[in-house]
Structure 1
Amino acid sequence: MHNALLIAELSLREAVRKRLVVVLLLLTAAFLGFYLYGVFRLEQTLDQRALDAGLDGRSVNGAANIPVMYTAIFGMYLVYFLGALMAVLSTVGAISGDVESGVMQSVIARPISRPALVLGRWLGFTAVNVGYVALISAALLGGIRLITGFVPPNPLPAVGLVLLAIALVTGLTVLGSTLFTTLANGIGVFVLYSVGFAGGVLNSIGTFADSPTLTTLGRLANVVMPTNSLWLGASYHLQPQVLRELGEVTRGANPFFGSAPITPGLVLWAAALGLLAVVLAMWRFSRRDL
């Protein structure tokens, strides 16, 4: 375990040395500034409309504040998407990149086991990816609160589900890095991510159209790749009661927002799948011929 933690520390240093962290912070600051400025302008527009209608103000959790609610949830969806994208791009060459460049031969000559090397790489990249998403989530929701006063009903469980999705993507990418080349791994993980998203769309269409076949296919896809289900569960915690009631009326036709809480079994399966991916990566790389 000591060697794994050492590799994790070296992975963090590598991210800093390659200026990955610096670039992420700069781009994140630009994204947050752009998005929160839009929220600020939206808040001014809604306040002006309330004054024109002869109202003293708007209820933070009322129907008049629905645009702000949607803006907050969609902002978190962008955070989830950017986090998943970063998890793939930062981890896609965790093992295969060093193998292809020839660096791995000098690394495994040191007194460190291959499973510990894989575990350390996963821990290091997971710390970077999860830490990044947690930071940007707090900044986004905190900025929206300062500007509009709106706070989602249950932000902590929502952010927790998003972080679990990012950890799962990171684990699957590390596994793919022990099985395929860097390019093939990136394509494969993106396809898996698309399967999860397609499952959410099929499930929404099947529920709205009352089609058991589409609903079953959507649920099957969400089990194969539960990242989208984790996001839908997170979005449910971000919705005030007025949006949940609107989702019930439309019978869950919106594929981006969940109309029901995620089941505990699916959360446990997502966590188990992420850990299983890491264990399989450790086992596969320990038997791989370099």
Structure 2
Amino acid sequence: MRNVLLMAELSLREATRKRLVSVLLLLSAAFLGFFLYGVYRLELTLDQRALDAGLDGRSLTGASNAPVIYAALFGMYLVYFLGSLMAVLSTVGAVSGDIESGVMQSVIARPVTRAQLVAGRWLGFAGVNVMYVALLSAGLLGGIYAITGYLPDGALPAAALLLLAVALLTALTVLGSTLFTTLANGIGVFVLYGVGFTGGILSAIGGLAATPTLTTLGRAANTLMPTNALWLGASYHLQPPFLRQVGEMTRGANPFFSADPVAPALVGWAVVLTLLAVGGAMWRFSQRDL
């Protein structure tokens, strides 16, 4: 375990040395500032409309506050997308990059097993990616709350599902890094990410058109790659009751948000798939001929 933690620490130092952390902080601050300024202007507009209508205020979880609620939802979707992008791009060369540059030969000559190296790589990059999404989620929802007073009741379970999705993507990217070249790995993981998103679209179309075949295909895609299903589960916790009722009436026609919670079995499968990906990466690199 000591060697695993050592490799995780080296991965964190590598991210810092490559200025990954500093660039992320600057770009994330710019994103939050830009987005929250838009929310601030939106809040001013809604307040003025309420005054013009002779109202004393508006319900934070009612239809009158729908623009702010949708802003929070789409903001968190952007957090999920940026976190997914970060998980893939930061980890795509975790193992293959060192092999291609020739650094790996000097690393594995040290008293660290290949399995420990892979586990440490995943732990280090997963720590960076999870912390990034956690801070970005807290900054976005905290900023919206400071400006409008609105905070989704299920913010914590929603954030937990997003963190699991990022950890899973990181694990799959590390696994791909032990199997393919850096470029092929990046393309492959993004294709898998697209499979998950396609599953959400097929499920939405199948529900709207009452077509069981499309619904089944969508569920199969979400099982193969459950990241999008985890986001849809997070979106359920981010919605107030009236928005969930709208989703139920439209039979889930919106592929971005879900009116139903994610199945516990799917969450469990995502955890198992994460562990299987890390374990598979450890085994594959231990058997690989360099």
Whether TM-score is above 0.5 comes out as yes
Q: Distance in 2 between matches of 1:68 and 1:192?
A: 32
Structure 2 equivalent of residue 146 of structure 1: 146
Structure 1 equivalent of residue 18 of structure 2: 18
Q: One-letter code of the match for 2:59? A: S
3-state SS of 2:14 partner? helix
Q: One-letter code of the match for 1:119? A: A
Q: Distance in 2 between matches of 1:250 and 1:215?
A: 15
Give the RMSD, CA atoms, in angstroms: 0.5
Q: Distance in 1 between matches of 2:115 and 2:36?
A: 43
Per-residue deviation, residues 25-53 of structure 1 (Å, max 9, x unmatched): 00000000000000000011111111111
Normalising by structure 2, we get a TM-score of 0.99
3-state SS of 2:215 partner? helix
Per-residue deviation, residues 22-81 of structure 1 (Å, max 9, x unmatched): 000000000000000000000111111111111111111111000100000110000000
Normalising by structure 1, we get a TM-score of 0.99
Structure 1 equivalent of residue 170 of structure 2: 170
3-state SS of 2:171 partner? helix
Residue 250 (structure 1) shift: 1.1
Question: How much identity, in percent, do the aligned residues show?
Answer: 75
3-state SS of 1:94 partner? coil
Structure 2 equivalent of residue 33 of structure 1: 33
3-state SS of 2:10 partner? helix
Q: One-letter code of the match for 2:108? A: I
The equivalences for 1:129-278 within 5 A come to 129-278=129-278
Residue 207 (structure 1) shift: 0.4
Per-residue deviation, residues 197-253 of structure 1 (Å, max 9, x unmatched): 000000000001000000000000000000000000000000001111111111111
Question: Is residue 2:51 matched to residue 1:47?
Answer: no
Structure 2 equivalent of residue 79 of structure 1: 79
Q: One-letter code of the match for 2:281? A: A
Question: Is residue 2:87 matched to residue 1:96?
Answer: no
Q: Distance in 1 between matches of 2:181 and 2:269?
A: 27
Q: Distance in 2 between matches of 1:54 and 1:112?
A: 71
* Structure 1 gap ranges (5+): none
Q: Distance in 2 between matches of 1:118 and 1:59?
A: 50
Structure 2 equivalent of residue 4 of structure 1: 4
Q: Distance in 2 between matches of 1:284 and 1:162?
A: 27
Q: One-letter code of the match for 1:101? A: S
Q: Distance in 2 between matches of 1:259 and 1:56?
A: 31
